[in-house]
C-alpha cells in the first residue's frame, strides 16, 4: 500500500486525493498492519446489526460498523477465493478446501468464526454461466456447484460482538455480461401471499434432484437445517443468537431469499443481510413482508456498478409512490433495506476509465468501504486494507502502483511437475475432495454434504 504520513497534531479528518499521494514511499507501508484493531461492540451490537436501520451510523460511517461490514465482505469474498473456477479441473464448481481448512487457507482465522457447513446448489433452468461446469466428461458433479457456507462466531469473537453470530455466505457471479445474458426478468411466488422473486434466483435456491449426488436436498434445505441446529444449540445454552447473511452479486440475491425463509421459520431471531453489488430480487410485496418480519438489510452499492440497477434501469424505485397499484404487478422489482452508496471516483488508487468488471468486483467494494468516511469527504488516509487486493481479478489500480492485474491465480495455472519432471494436474488432498458422507436413514436416505 502507499505510505501516507499522518499528522497527529490535529484531529481533523484527513482524506486522500491524487495530489497528495506519496508514491515514492509505496513499499514502506508493507510493514504496517493491513487491518484495523478490533473494538468491543458487545453493548452496541444491535445497532450495528441494524435494529434502528443503521440510523446515524452510515454518513459518516461509524468505524466499528465499517470493520463489521468488511468482515462480512471478506466472508463473501472467501466464496470466490476458494472456488474452483478451472474448467479443466475434474473438481470444477467445488470448493478447493474442506471446511475445517477454509479460513486457514484464506487467512481469515483472524475474524474469529468456524465453518460448520458447506452449501451446494443446482438449477432447473438454463443458467450456463452462473453455475460453473467442467469441460471434462468425468467430473465431481455434473449438476451441482459449491455456493457458500455456514459459519458461527467462536467464544472470543462472540464476547467481543455481544452474541453468538451465525453467518451464511453465498457465492455470486462476477462478470456483468452474465447478467445481460441470463437475467430471466420473470417473477414467481414465494410464500403464501403476493410476494414474488426473480425465478432464476429462486431456482438456484430451491432446486434439487434425487438423481444427483450433491443436491438430493436443495440449497434452501441444507442451509435451513444447519441454521436450525445452531440456533437450537446456542439458545439452549442460554446465549443470545443472531443471524447475518451476506453475499455479493448473485450471492446478495440469494442472501435476501435466505433471510426471507429464515424470518418465516425463526420469528424473533435478529436477522440482518449485508449485501454487496446485489440486484433487485423481488416485488414490493416481497420487500414489505421482509420489513414486517423485522429483517434488516444493508445494501452496499457503487454508483458506477450496473448490476444493482437490474432488472430494469428506469422503472422500479421511481414507481414506489404508486405502491397500492404496482405492489402485485409481476414486472415491478424493488430494492430492500438501507443503502450505503460508494463512488469509485473517491479513491485516488483507482483508474478513472470505464471498467464494468472492475466496478462490480467485491474487492473494489471492500477497498471503497475501507476508505469511506462520508459522502462529503474524500478517501480516508487511515484506510488499512491492502490496496493490491483490488487487482486480484481485474485491472482497476492506477499504473503508478505497479500492481499486476488479475494476479490472483494458481502458479503455472495449476500445473505441477511430477517426479518424472512432467507437468500434470495435481492430485487434491483426500480431505479436500468433495464427497458425500454416509446416508442418514432418518432423513429418508438424504446424503449429508461434507468434505471428508
Between 357 and 328, whose confidence is greater? Answer: 357
Q: Dihedral through CA 38, CA 43, CA 49, CA 51, nearest 10?
A: -160
Is residue 13 a part of any domain in this protein? no
How much is the average pLDDT of 155-169? Answer: 98
* Structure confidence at residue 182 (pLDDT): 52
The answer to whether 197 and 213 have CB atoms below 8 angstroms apart is: no
Which among 70-74, 81-85, 141-145 has the top mean pLDDT? 70-74
370 is catalytic: no
Assess if residue 17 is contained within a domain: no
pLDDT in tens, 10-37: 335 677 776 666 665 455 566 677 776 7
Q: Which of 81, 84, 143, 305 is catalytic?
A: 305
pLDDT of 7 = 35
Tell me the CATH number at 194: 3.40.50.1820
Is residue 86 in some structural domain?
yes
Q: Kindly state whether residue 435 falls inside one of the protein's structural domains.
A: no
Domain count of the chain? 1
pLDDT of 13 reads: 65
Q: Decide if 360 is inside a domain.
A: no
pLDDT at 17: 72
pLDDT digits (tens, 9 = 90+) for 192-237: 999 999 988 999 999 999 988 889 999 999 999 999 999 999 999 9
Q: Does 378 score more than 60 pLDDT?
A: yes
- What Rg, from alpha-carbon coordinates, does the chain have? 22
- Chain mean pLDDT for the chain: 85
Does some domain include residue 1?
A: no
pTM over 0.85: yes
**Active-site residue, 249 included:** yes
Q: Which of 62, 335, 360, 367 is catalytic?
A: 360
Q: Which of 249, 262, 346, 347 does the annotation list as catalytic?
A: 249
Percent share of the chain, pLDDT over 90 = 64
- Residue in the structure block whose three cell numbers are 455479493: 248
**What is the crossing angle of helices 199-206 and 250-265, to 10°?**
60
At 287 the pLDDT is 96
Domain that holds residue 169: 37-342
88 contact partners, CB below 8 Å, separation of at least 6? 134, 135, 136, 425
Residue with the larger pLDDT of the pair 168 and 183: 168
| Confidence band of 3 (pLDDT split at 50, 70, 90) | very low
360 flagged as catalytic? yes
Residue range 54-66: mean pLDDT, rounded: 97
CA–CA separation, 412 and 42 (whole Å): 46
Q: Is 173 part of any domain?
A: yes
266 secondary structure, DSSP code: S
Is there a domain that residue 440 lies in? no
Mean pLDDT calculated for residue range 136-140: 66
Amino acid at each position: 500500500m502507499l505510505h501516507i504520513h499522518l499528522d497527529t497534531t490535529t484531529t481533523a479528518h484527513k482524506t486522500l486525493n491524487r495530489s497528495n499521494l506519496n508514491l515514492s514511499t509505496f513499499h514502506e507501508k508493507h510493514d504496517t498492519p493491513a487491518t484495523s484493531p478490533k473494538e468491543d461492540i458487545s453493548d452496541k451490537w444491535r445497532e450495528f446489526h441494524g435494529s434502528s436501520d443503521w440510523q446515524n451510523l452510515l454518513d459518516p460511517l461509524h468505524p466499528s460498523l465499517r470493520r463489521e461490514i468488511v468482515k462480512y465482505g471478506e466472508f463473501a469474498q472467501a466464496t470466490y477465493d476458494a472456488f474452483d473456477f478451472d474448467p479443466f479441473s475434474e473438481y470444477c464448481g467445488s470448493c478447493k478446501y474442506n471446511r475445517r481448512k477454509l479460513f486457514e487457507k484464506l487467512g481469515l482465522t483472524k475474524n474469529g468464526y468456524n465453518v460448520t457447513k458447506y452449501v451446494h446448489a443446482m438449477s432447473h433452468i438454463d443458467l450456463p454461466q452462473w453455475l460453473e461446469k467442467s469441460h471434462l466428461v468425468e467430473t465431481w458433479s455434473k449438476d451441482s456447484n459449491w455456493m457458500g457456507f455456514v459459519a458461527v462466531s467462536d467464544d472470543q469473537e462472540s464476547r467481543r460482538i455481544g452474541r453468538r453470530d451465525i453467518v451464511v455466505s453465498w457465492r455470486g457471479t462476477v462478470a456483468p455480461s452474465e447478467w445481460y445474458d441470463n437475467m430471466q426478468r420473470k417473477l414467481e411466488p414465494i410464500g403464501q401471499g403476493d410476494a414474488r422473486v426473480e425465478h432464476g434466483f429462486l431456482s438456484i435456491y430451491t432446486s434439487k434432484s434425487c438423481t444427483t449426488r450433491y443436491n438430493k436436498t436443495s440449497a434452501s434445505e441444507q442451509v435451513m437445517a444447519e441454521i436450525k441446529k445452531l440456533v437450537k444449540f446456542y439458545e439452549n445454552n442460554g446465549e443470545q443468537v443472531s443471524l447475518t447473511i451476506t453475499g455479493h452479486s448473485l450471492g446478495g440475491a440469494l442472501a435476501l431469499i435466505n433471510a426471507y425463509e429464515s424470518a418465516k421459520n425463526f420469528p424473533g431471531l435478529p436477522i440482518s443481510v449485508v449485501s454487496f453489488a446485489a440486484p433487485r430480487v423481488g416485488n414490493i410485496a416481497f420487500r414489505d413482508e421482509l420489513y414486517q418480519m423485522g429483517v434488516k438489510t444493508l445494501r452496499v452499492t457503487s454508483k458506477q456498478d450496473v448490476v444493482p440497477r437490474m432488472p430494469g434501469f428506469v422503472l422500479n424505485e421511481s414507481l414506489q409512490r404508486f405502491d397500492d397499484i404496482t405492489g402485485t404487478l409481476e414486472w415491478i422489482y424493488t430494492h430492500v433495506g438501507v443503502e450505503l452508496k460508494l463512488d469509485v471516483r473517491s479513491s485516488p488508487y483507482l483508474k478513472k476509465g470505464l471498467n464494468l468488471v472492475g466496478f462490480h468486483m467485491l474487492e473494489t467494494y471492500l477497498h471503497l468501504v475501507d476508505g469511506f468516511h462520508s459522502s462529503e469527504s474524500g478517501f480516508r488516509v487511515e484506510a488499512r486494507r491492502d490496496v493490491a487486493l483490488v487487482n486480484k481479478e481485474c485491472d482497476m489500480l492506477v499504473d503508478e502502483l505497479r500492481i499486476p492485474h488479475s494476479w490472483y491465480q494458481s502458479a503455472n495455472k495449476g500445473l505441477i511437475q511430477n517426479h518424472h519432471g512432467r507437468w500434470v494436474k495435481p492430485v487434491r488432498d483426500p480431505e479436500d475432495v468433495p464427497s458425500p458422507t454416509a446416508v442418514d436413514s432418518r432423513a429418508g436416505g438424504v446424503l449429508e454434504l461434507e468434505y471428508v
